[in-house]
Structure 1
C-alpha cells in the first residue's frame, strides 16, 4: 500500500554557522586592538620622546624607553600568537605608571619649567587600556583614576610645564573619561561573553543528556525487538519442534538469532552507512525461504536507490516480524501472503499482507511486543511510520513507510483501521 504524499528525505549540506561571542574570541579582539593602539600611540610619542631626550637623565631615558616601547612591541607579538598577552599588557601598564611617578626625577634640572608637553601624555590612554586588559575590574578601575591623577599633578610641577590647576584638571579628566570608556566597553563585552559561554555550556550539557537518553531508548527498543523477534520466537519454535523439518527450522532460527545479537553488539544508533533497496529485498526473500511458507515477493522501482542503513534495518526487521506474525497467526497454506517493496519519489514502502484471519489491534495484550515494539516503535525510531489495516476475518495489510509522511510530533506511531484490504 503506497504512502500518500510522503515527503522525500531532504538532501542538502548544512550552512556553516558563525561562532558566537565567546571569551577566547573577545580576548583575541582585545589583544589585537591593544596592539594597534600601542603601535599608533607609540609612533606618535616617539618623536617627542627623542626631542625631549637631551633634557632627561640618560639612565632614566634608556630604562623607561626600553620598558615602554619594548612592552608595546611585546604586546604586538603576543597578540599574534595569543600567548602571554596579559603579561605583556601588565608590563606596559606598570612601566607607564613608574614613568609617571618618576618623571620629576627624570629631568636634568627639575627647577626649570619645561616648555613642551611631557611625551608621556600620548601614552596615558594606552596605559589605562593595557590595565583594563591585564588586570581585574577593581585593579583596572583603580589604575584608571591613579594614572591620570598622577599625570595631572606632574603638570603642576616645573618638569611638567607648571600649568594652572584648571588645565591640569582638564587633562586628567580627559584621560579618565577616555580610559573609562575603554574599561566599560571591555567589561560589558566580557560579561556578555561569560553569559554566552554559560548558556552554551548549559545547552551542550542538556543536548548531551538528551542524546544519551535518546540512544538509551533506541537501544531499549532494539533489544526488546531482538528478544521478541529472534530469541523468544526461537524458543517457542524449538519447544514445538518434534519433526526433523521443524527441528531444522528451529536450528536456523537460532543461528539467525545469534547473528542478530552479534550485529546489535557492534552497531551504533547513529551509523551514517547506507543500504540499497535491492539488497534489503534480497534479505527479505532469503529469510522467507527459511520460514516454510509461501510468500510472494514483489518489487517496483528499486533500481539503484539507497537509504540509510538504520532505516533499511528497521524496515527489514519490521517486515520479517510482520511475516512471522502472519505465518503463525493468520492461517495455514490456504492463506495468500505477499511482500512488496516499492520506491517512489516520496520514499520507500514495504507492504506485508495476507488474506488470513486478521485480528483486533485493541485486543492485543500490552505485554505482547510483536506489533508495538518490533514493528511500530522500531520503525518510528528510524524515522518511518507503520500503518496497519486489519479486520477480524478479513486479512491484514501492514504498510511500512520511510520516511514518515508527517512531522514526528504530529505522527501517530501506527494507524489502525477496521477495513478489508
Structure 2
C-alpha cells in the first residue's frame, strides 16, 4: 500500500459529512448560523406594533372628527395644547408601527399622557359634558391607551393600568364643576366596559407572546437535537472507519508478525506494521492532505448527473482546459453544497407558478490557480435576504456548514424579483488560513 495521490472512483456523494469534518467546526462559525432564540417572538411583536398602528389610525381619525365637531370645550391655547398632546402622541405611536422597540417607548408616553388627560378632563371642560348623553371624544382613545399599556408595560403594571384608567375615565367623564358625580350608573358602566375591553386586549397579547415563546423554545431545542444527532452519527461513522482500519492494518500486521517463521515473512510483517503506523498517523492530518482527489471536470460531471436526476434544466459552464485537482473530501462537500443550492432553485425559483420558465446556470471555474469556484444562479422570484432566518436547514447545514467545514466560503445574493445566486469558493490558501484561525 502506498500514500500516492490517486483519484477516487465512484460518485461524489455521501449522506453526511465525515465525523472529523463536523467535529472540527469551531463554535464561532456555528454561532453565526444558530437560530435566533426570539425569532417567533420578534414576529409577534412586529404584528402587535402594526395592529396598534392600524387601530390607532382608525380610532384617531374618528376621535379627531368628533373632537372638532363637538368642540374641544377648552378655551384658547390650552384647548389646542390638550388635543395636540393626546392626538399628537397617538400620531407618533401610529408612525412607529414598523419598529416595535421605538413604538414601545411612544406607547408608554401615550398611556401616561392619556391618563393625565382624563384626570384633568373636569377642569379642562368645567364639567360641561357631565350630564350629556354622548360620550366625550376621549372615550375613543381609551381602548388604544389600554392596548399601548398592554404592549409596553410589565404584565402586573399593565393590568393595573387597564383597571385604573377606564375607572378614572368613567368617574371624570360624569363629574360636574363642583366635583359631584352627575350620572353614577354611566360611570360604572364605562369603567366596567373599558376595563373588560382592555383585559381582552391584554389577554390576547399575552397569549400570542406565550405561544411565540413556546414555539421559539421548541424550535431551538429541535435545532440543538438535530445538531447533536448529526454529530453523533458522524462520530459513529468515523468510529466504524477507525475500527475497520485497526482490523485491516494493526491486527493484520500483528497476525503476520505472529506467523512469521522466515525472513521474508518477517519483512512482510514489518512492512505491514509500517503501513499501519502511517495510516493511523494520517488520521490527524488535514483532509486536504489525504490520498484521494477529484478533478474539476469530475465535479462538473457529478453536477450534470444531479441536474438530470432533478429533471430540471441547468446550463453548466466550466473553465476550459482546467486541470485543477482538489482533495476528494473537499470536492465531496462542495458537490453536496452545490446540489443543495440546485435543489433549492428547482423547488423555489418559480414561486407559486410551477410552470414558470426559469433560466438556471451553474458556473464552475478555477480560482487562484489551485482552487475552485461554483456559482449556482437563476432568474426566478428571488427573496429578501434580510427576511430569511440564517438557520434554515437547507442553507445552514446542507450548504454553509459543509463549505465552512473544509475552509471554504459561501455568499448569497438575492432580491425579490431579481433571482438568486449562491457563490461557493474554496482555495487551499484560504482553507489553511481558516484552519489556523480555528486552532
Structure 1 residue corresponding to 2:282, chosen from 262, 266, 289:
262
The reply on whether 1:42 has 2:80 as its aligned counterpart is no
Tell me by how many angstroms 1:46 deviates. 0.9
Q: Measure the CA separation in 2 of the matches of 1:274 and 1:26.
A: 50
The reply on whether 1:86 has 2:78 as its aligned counterpart is no
Q: 1:82 to 1:257 in 2, by over 3 A?
A: farther
* 2:127–2:174 CA contact under 8 A, matched in 1: no
Tell me by how many angstroms 1:120 deviates. 0.5
- Equivalent residue number for residue 196 of structure 1: 215
Q: 1:47 to 1:89 in 2, by over 3 A?
A: same
* 2:72–2:79 CA contact under 8 A, matched in 1: no
Moved more, 238-247 or 146-155: 238-247
Tell me by how many angstroms 1:243 deviates. 6.7
Deviations 1:293-319 (A, max 9, x none): xxxxxxxxx9x9789x78x99xxxxxx
Higher radius of gyration, 1 or 2: 1
- Equivalent residue number for residue 235 of structure 2: 216
Paired residue secondary structure (1:56): coil
Moved more, 175-184 or 247-256: 247-256
Tell me by how many angstroms 1:218 deviates. 2.5
Aligned residues: 267
Tell me by how many angstroms 1:152 deviates. 1.0
Q: 1:69 to 1:47 in 2, by over 3 A?
A: same
Matches within 5 A, 1:13-412: 22-51=40-69, 55-58=73-76, 60-107=78-125, 109-110=126-127, 117-158=135-176, 164-233=183-252, 254=274, 258=278, 261-262=281-282, 265-267=285-287
Q: Measure the CA separation in 1 of the matches of 2:266 and 2:94.
A: 83
Q: 1:54 to 1:68 in 2, by over 3 A?
A: closer
Moved more, 115-124 or 60-69: 60-69
Q: 1:258 to 1:53 in 2, by over 3 A?
A: farther
Deviations 1:284-342 (A, max 9, x none): xxxxxxxxxxxxxxxxxx9x9789x78x99xxxxxxxxxxxxxxxxxxxxxxxxxxxxx
Tell me by how many angstroms 1:47 deviates. 1.9
* 1:92–1:127 CA contact under 8 A, matched in 2: yes
Tell me by how many angstroms 1:87 deviates. 1.5
- How large is the Cα RMSD of the aligned pairs? 4.6
Q: 1:232 to 1:111 in 2, by over 3 A?
A: same
* 1:152–1:168 CA contact under 8 A, matched in 2: yes
Q: Measure the CA separation in 1 of the matches of 2:190 and 2:43.
A: 34
Tell me by how many angstroms 1:161 deviates. 12
* 1:26–1:189 CA contact under 8 A, matched in 2: yes
Q: Measure the CA separation in 2 of the matches of 1:55 and 1:22.
A: 46
Tell me by how many angstroms 1:91 deviates. 1.7
Q: Measure the CA separation in 1 of the matches of 2:159 and 2:72.
A: 35
* 1:155–1:163 CA contact under 8 A, matched in 2: no
Q: Measure the CA separation in 1 of the matches of 2:293 and 2:208.
A: 46
